[in-house]
Structure 1
Amino acid sequence: MSDKKYDFLDQVKEQIKAIEAKEKISHELNHHINSEKKRLVLTGIEKEEAERIAIKQMGGPVQLGQRLNKLHRPKTDWWLISLLIVTIGLSFLPLMFWNIDLNFYFERKIIASVISVVIITGLMFFDYRKFYKWRWSFYFIGLLVLALLVLFPTTYTNGVPVLRVGPFVIDSTQTLLLFYVGFSALIISSKVSYWKFLLLCSVPIFFFLVVLDPNSIFVFSAMAIALLWFSDVSKKRILLLAVSSLAVIFSAGYLLWGNLDDYQKDRILGYFNPTEYANSSGYMYLQAKELLKAAGWFGQRGEQVFIPTGHTDFVFLSLTYHFGWILGIILFLVLAMLMTRMIYVTFKINDSFGKMLVVGGLSLFSVQFLYSIAMTLGLLPIIGISLPFISYGLTPTIMNSIVFGIVLSVYRRKNIVFKQSITN
């Protein structure tokens, strides 16, 4: 590189504040100068003069650098951040009617919220592209955790194996984060074909079946299909996969029906006909329907009604009953706007890996949000699924915080990361 060109590029880079953009912009400008220099040389101009002309055509280095600095500076999604702040604020409302030691759980909620904010902020400033080279590590660590749950569980919670490491409890749902990042990278790798991707998906599903975690199978499958949909795979293939998967599930359910225990059959039949199973599996469907009907617009704050898992799985039911449908609708709209904003961000990202991370995060959030609401309204079977950020619990809060931190990291670099195709 000649001194003139070096000085020009150096002056341009001095005007650019985003460290991540400096070298990329320098490389692009160098490419344009060299291309124009070659063109001018072919017309008969000397190399040194051709380079001088090519540099001059770029304009003044200070002015050019200032324009590029405005174009490629980091962006902050204040809409998404504002909605997250509102959501975290709303998450304190269940403490007002939950019959508990308020001081103790309020402190724990404060700590969980602070941890959530720290995680989101830290990941927003972290360069998400560094995750790509660790894609296989994320995948195999996820498999390792599932294998340990199968082979060496330290205890069981509701029949599901868990690992206790000091004060921390690890279960199969937490591996979803590892697979989320791993598969977001693997789906764009040229070394991973459509069939290899399906094979890689089948192994975690097998482990989820072994540890008796159908909820994770559902969330994981939704995420995998969403990633495939936004990849280069044919949409016909994806639809065929989705239909085939549903056919396999229903066929397996039909074949296994006779081998199910009575309580398992009751749980299924209770969803389809709750009245006949009012004293067992249909009870919660009927109670939810009655409580939602009795809530009114402004709620029943004076009435103390016990709602099973009212601070976790049925937190939307609890909030709507105690504070009314006005709050229920507001809560739904806030979470729906979070989901809508993530959809908007998806179409603003040029980087293939960044887009997949947003798509994967969107699917993880949307499945939890939509299923939790639909389950409360009796539209879907009852399963153990949390309402993002609103349900009480440190682990689900941390998991969703990681997702949104990564999404904000991608958005922050949407004007810094140039469109690229990762092939290794």
Structure 2
Amino acid sequence: MVKKGRQSYLREVSDQIKSKEAKDYVSVELDYHIKQAKKEWINKGLNEADAEEKAVGQMGNPITLGQQLNKLHRPKVDWLTVILLLITLGLSFLPMLSLNNNFSDDSMNMRYYSTHKAIFVLLGGTVAFGMMLMDYRKLEKFGWLFYTIGIIILLILSFFPTHFVNGISVIKVGPLTIESLMVIPFFFLAWASFFNDIRLKIWHLSILFFVPFYLIFTIPSISTAYIYGVMVFVMLCWSKFSRKTILKTLGISISSFLIVCIIFWQTVAPYQKHRLEVFFNPEQYPDSGGYMILLLKELLSKADWFGNSMTNEFIPEGHTNFVLVSLTSYFGWSFAIALVLILSLFVARIVVITRNIHHAYGKLLLIGSIALYTVQLVTNIAMTLGFFPLTSMSLPFISYGLMPTLFNAFLIGVVLSVYRRKDLVSSCFITN
């Protein structure tokens, strides 16, 4: 009978809550508070039955409380991030206007580009929406599974590639191209779980880091290794470890990284070596590797504040890695600056959300999302302006491509998922 009274009260409260996630959360938390209050009354001398009756009564009217908790803990949508996503996906079609000259070839005409871009955007929006609806907290226990999937993909890419694109191993299955960037979401989810696991020591994590790092270098994909390394080290800085341990780990890791780079310099594809060599002296290679750097400088120097819609300069990779150059040349510096500011708003918004998240796993996911998104944005801009060696790095959401679009949509979806449940991981309850 005692248990039934408490359970009846919990059911009445839960009946007022519409969201199943919030219903389950409130039931568990409210039951805990009732039990705590019951213990206090027992300590004051009441018997168990009277103590529970007092504890339940202390919670207030179940219908009123349920309605209050329904408002407080209902899943929320971060409309600001959603609006930013929709605006950015819309802006991603603008390169079509600036790349008419690039699509003179029948194999890459405007219709082909437009159709596929629309498909990519639709799929990206679907991924973001799907991730928002998914309860991110359920992913934490699958950290080892995600890590294993990432390792398997890297092993297949390393030893059983079907094609090579610019010297990098890929696997083509029909229209789908499996590349190294596909492993980053799996390792992202895995590391958020690892850094929240108190059983794992720093030496465990070091081994877990270097195994995929080594495999990525064997593909070889410097850009993926770069993204992976930045992601892990940024998440490490917000992990459970002490500042001293983090600094020590960073020092050892950076030293090890330099050693690995020296060793693997011999295995890096010739074109990748050439990119680094010409970065510092492009004028010495005007007809080879330095041509692209000099061309980008020339195009940006010719661009004015409001663009030139009559330009017909052919820009290699002007719809992918160098899309910002195309847009700057066509629409002008004013548009380019505005676009960068819009893309940067994602980072600012995620930072604001992170400050209000107290769930450790959720916060690590947000930190990782910031790292993964920012490293692409900053690197692409720096590469465009000549401050970073030329590499394969997309401008988030703007560059053409299925994988970059899905990858960044996945990150935003994770952010929306964490925000949606930010009130389902607190201990705030309204009591009468």
Q: Confirm or deny a common fold (TM above 0.5).
A: yes
CA contact (8 A) 1:131 1:181 kept: yes
2:228 aligns with: 220
Cα distance change, pair 71–139 in 1 and its aligned pair in 2 (3 A) = same
Distance 1:31 1:58 in 2: 12
1:422 aligns with: none
Spell out the pairing of 1:23-422 with structure 2 (5 A cutoff).
23-99=24-100, 100=103, 101-250=109-258, 266-418=274-426
**Amino acid across the alignment from 2:324:** F
**Amino acid across the alignment from 1:340:** A
Q: CA deviation at 1:226?
A: 1.2
Cα distance change, pair 352–255 in 1 and its aligned pair in 2 (3 A) = closer
CA contact (8 A) 2:75 2:421 kept: yes
Cα distance change, pair 258–51 in 1 and its aligned pair in 2 (3 A) = closer
Cα distance change, pair 240–293 in 1 and its aligned pair in 2 (3 A) = farther
CA contact (8 A) 1:119 1:402 kept: yes
**Amino acid across the alignment from 1:97:** S
CA contact (8 A) 1:266 1:277 kept: no
**Amino acid across the alignment from 1:299:** G
Q: For structure 1, list consecutive stretches of 5 or more residues without a partner in the other structure.
A: 420-424
Q: CA deviation at 1:355?
A: 1.3
Cα distance change, pair 242–50 in 1 and its aligned pair in 2 (3 A) = closer
Q: CA deviation at 1:236?
A: 3.1
**Amino acid across the alignment from 1:278:** P
Q: CA deviation at 1:140?
A: 0.7
After superposition, what is the alpha-carbon deviation per residue over 1:101-143, rounded to whole angstroms, capped at 9, x for unaligned? 2222211111111111111111111111222222111111111
Question: Partner of 1:275: helix, strand, or coil?
Answer: helix
2:430 aligns with: none
After superposition, what is the alpha-carbon deviation per residue over 1:260-287, rounded to whole angstroms, capped at 9, x for unaligned? 8986654323211222333322222222
- Out of 5-14 and 312-321, give the one that drifted further: 5-14
Question: Partner of 2:229: helix, strand, or coil?
Answer: helix
Cα distance change, pair 39–246 in 1 and its aligned pair in 2 (3 A) = closer
Question: Partner of 1:189: helix, strand, or coil?
Answer: coil
Q: CA deviation at 1:13?
A: 0.8
Cα distance change, pair 213–264 in 1 and its aligned pair in 2 (3 A) = closer
Cα distance change, pair 258–38 in 1 and its aligned pair in 2 (3 A) = closer
CA contact (8 A) 2:220 2:269 kept: no
The count of aligned residue pairs is: 419
Distance 2:350 2:114 in 1: 30
Cα distance change, pair 317–409 in 1 and its aligned pair in 2 (3 A) = same
**Amino acid across the alignment from 2:80:** W
**Amino acid across the alignment from 1:67:** Q
- Sequence identity (%): 40
Distance 1:263 1:46 in 2: 80
CA contact (8 A) 2:22 2:75 kept: no
Q: CA deviation at 1:191?
A: 2.5
Cα distance change, pair 106–38 in 1 and its aligned pair in 2 (3 A) = same
Distance 2:206 2:266 in 1: 30
**Amino acid across the alignment from 1:91:** S
